[in-house]
Structure 1
């Protein structure tokens, strides 16, 4: 077991890769009464074309199957796993993203029993055609609920513009039509391919004895048999700037128009873990300087009534994609989009990009980061979803401090390009 101490934040992380390939990370927090466990597989909604384990040819599975599989793992032949966690004094849940599926619990008692339950239920699939067909109606209602959410439609509208061929633009839950195609056999195929321990990690944070807990987890896995590890082969379409849909819109039953601008990353991101985290953090700092609440760009739009408190922006980076988006409710959606695009394209000459502002933004980011480390959920989710090689969440303060203005301007020049921009609007439906 590897022990890594981070003196600047007084944290010690224990890690071990078990013989079956499972990566286990333990972070003791002696001043917490709660323990939080997160069991994650590197498998999400975009992984719909792959070579099944033990086979040679690529297959295409129905959209939404990763999310469907997440739902079905909780249902066993004789019981519902949620009820078992409840009897053990724990709350449990799960979620599926574009690239990950995670199962979790939090409790103050019966920690070992709950960790055992978490690992065992995820590693013991039970699917029947009857139970699969029963679930389809439930998930169809969930899909429809999100289709009625204007903000959800806005977000996936811009994703469809930026990634018209990539599965990123497809709703995580799939469509009503696609989930109707899912069979129990499909679920087992996806499960055995992506839920192998070598494609998963377990992160536990809270009150614990790391040596004892690691031995407990080690013994749990030693009692189970898994097939030989194989590298997972995924396929994603190759896209260029020419594939980007520059503008699109829909009408919904809303009171005010909504607008969103997307900026698609066209270059590959750094492979090295430290440089990858530095690249991601630099773009986050760049966007904060350009559009944060104290920036000239923000104040100009806000004071003129172009935006309100609904304005937001974010940057997303994961395997096979990275992009930024900027959105707001606004009475002038086209003007809003034009303003955002104009501010982005003129970022190189923006007076906001100076040493003083960067220093303040870095201090603010470090402060927010350190504050977030008081959340067990935040730590576990960040460690499990963001893989940076040997660089971890606990190195973020050093990464932030290393970012200089020259590098920030380099990132601005390479990331912000006119051919990478797109706009999407939602207008009120005049017929309703």
Structure 2
């Protein structure tokens, strides 16, 4: 096993890529009672147009296929994986994002057995027409619930403005109409293309012995055979970059008491991958915190003016093939809100040189938050992004923060705050409804 030692934190990460291509990461945490493990595939909701394994032509599957597949993986012939985890004292779950699907468990006992359950149920697909039909009704209700949520409508609305030709604008769960089209064959096609061990990684963290744990995993994988791996070929849209197709403004009405506004800023620069990509993300987050955090002068000024309130938030999302910033909140002054955010972004190069002392304090706060996450086995495993950030972990972020300068943020600001990618989406109370 390869050992990556973090002396500063007295931590050692053990990693090995198995003969079948599965990358295994093991982080022993002495003194912890619980063990937590994630088993993830590089397959998310945006990966719906691809060349199936062994074929030569692209197919486009219904929106929501990755999320639907995640749900169906727990249903096996003769048993339910959730029930099996429960029998061995583990809590299990799964989630699908735009770019990956993860299965996980946490347990204080029977770690060997629970690891086997995790590996086995994810690597043994079983789908039937009857179970797929039943799942459509369950997921359909989930989708309808989100359709009636104004905050979700706001979120998906700005993605639709920014990325009309990229599948990120489609709900991760799909629509009631799209999931109705999903077939058993679709599920097997997606599974066979993306769920190969070489397209996946396993992260185990807790009170475990790394050598023993790796032996368990190798024994499990040695019992299975897999087809020759082919790197999935995915098509994300006819126009994946640029600003020419951005919808600059959209206003809809819903049954809300107050107007809701979101500003989106599409990333138009090419972001790096590997450690440089992680550095880009951390710098962007710190830059936004300096300008829009609750202790910033800009935030306090907008708050005192009644332009924003406690509902205000900002987010920087950077994943495979896209990145964007959003600012959102309930506001009775949507026009002032939009113009105020735009002005701060335009003046960032003038504001930043005045924030040297705030920058040093912000760095310390970010490092403090990072140290807190290092005490959470869930945070350690869930923050692992695999190949996108060069297989770095939460422990690698400290050095990036420590070496970061205010000049780094000043150089990043004009790239990140390119107003050619600016868009707004508003939800107004329905006509006749008192705001």
1:413 is displaced (CA, Å) by 1.2
Query: Can you list the C-alpha shifts for 1:196-242, whole angstroms capped at 9, x where unaligned?
Result: 00010010110101100101101110110000011110111223111
Measured after TM superposition, the shift of residue 88 of structure 1 is 0.8
1:168 and 2:168 are equivalent in the alignment: yes
Asked if 2 retains the 8 angstrom alpha-carbon contact of 1:259 and 1:334, the reply is no
**Runs of 4+ displaced beyond 6 Å:** none
- Report the Cα offset of residue 351 of structure 1: 5.1
Q: Which residue of 2 aligns with 1:7?
A: 7
Query: 3-state SS of the aligned residue for 1:12?
Result: strand
Cα distance in 2 for residues equivalent to 1:183 and 1:364: 49
1:393 Cα offset (Å) = 2.2
The reply on whether 1:193 has 2:193 as its aligned counterpart is yes
Q: Residues 374 and 395 of structure 2 are in contact (CA less than 8 Å); yes or no, is this contact kept in structure 1?
A: no
Residue 410 (structure 2) pairs with residue 403 (structure 1) = no
Q: Could you tell me the TM-score, scaled by structure 1's length?
A: 0.98
Which of 266, 269, 287 aligns to 1:267? It is 269
Unmatched segments (≥5 aa) in structure 1: none
Contact 1:289 1:353 in 2 (8 A): no
Query: Which residue number in structure 1 is paired with residue 284 of structure 2?
Result: 283
2:367 corresponds in structure 1 to: 366
**1:36 match: secondary structure:** strand
Matches within 5 A, 1:275-314: 275-314=276-315
What's the RMSD between the two structures over aligned residues? 1.2
Matched, 1:39 2:39: yes
Q: Is 2:384–2:391's contact at 8 Å kept on the other side of the alignment? A: no
Tell me, yes or no, if the aligned pair for 1:45 and 1:66 is still in contact at 8 Å: yes
Give 1:250 shift.
1.3
- Which residue does the alignment assign to 2:64? 64
Shift of 1:140: 0.5
Q: CA deviation at 1:390?
A: 5.1
**Residue 183 (structure 1) aligned with residue 180 (structure 2):** no
CA deviations over 1:267-311 (Å, ceiling 9, x no partner): 11013x221111111111110010011111100111111111111
Query: Normalising by the residue count of structure 2, what TM-score does the alignment of the two structures yield?
Result: 0.97
1:251 matched residue in structure 2 = 253
Which segment is superposed worse, 233-242 or 159-168?
Answer: 233-242
Match runs of 1:80-119 below 5 Å: 80-119=80-119
Contact kept in structure 1, 2:163 and 2:246, CA below 8 Å? yes
Residue matched to 2:73: 73
Q: Alignment length, in residue pairs? A: 431
Q: Which moved more, 1:330-339 or 1:18-27?
A: 330-339
> Quick one: distance in 1 between partners of 2:152 and 2:123?
32
SS in 1 for 2:233: coil
> Where in structure 2 are the equivalents of 1:184-263 lying within 5 Å?
184-237=184-237, 238=239, 239-263=241-265
Classify the secondary structure of the residue corresponding to 1:387: helix
SS at match of 1:383: coil
CA contact (8 A) 1:295 1:352 kept: no
Does the 8 Å CA contact 1:311/1:329 hold for their aligned counterparts?
Answer: yes
CA shift in 2, pair 1:383/1:376, >3 Å? same
Other-structure match for 1:416: 417
> Hey, what's the Cα distance between the residues in 2 that align with 1:268 and 1:18?
32
C-alpha displacement at 1:385, in angstroms? 6.0
**Kept in 2: contact 1:353–1:405 (CA 8 A):** no
The Cα of 1:406 is off from its aligned counterpart by 1.8
- The CA deviation string for residues 119-172 of structure 1, in whole angstroms up to 9 with x for no partner, is 100000000111111111111000001111111111111101110110001000
Q: Is the 8 A contact 1:201 1:384 kept in 2?
A: no
Structure 2: stretches of 5+ with no match in the other structure: none
Note if 1:121 corresponds to 2:129.
no
Does the 8 Å CA contact 1:100/1:385 hold for their aligned counterparts?
Answer: no
Q: Distance in 1 between matches of 2:195 and 2:92?
A: 19
Structure 2 CA distance, aligned partners of 1:431 and 1:187?
A: 46
SS in 2 for 1:178: helix
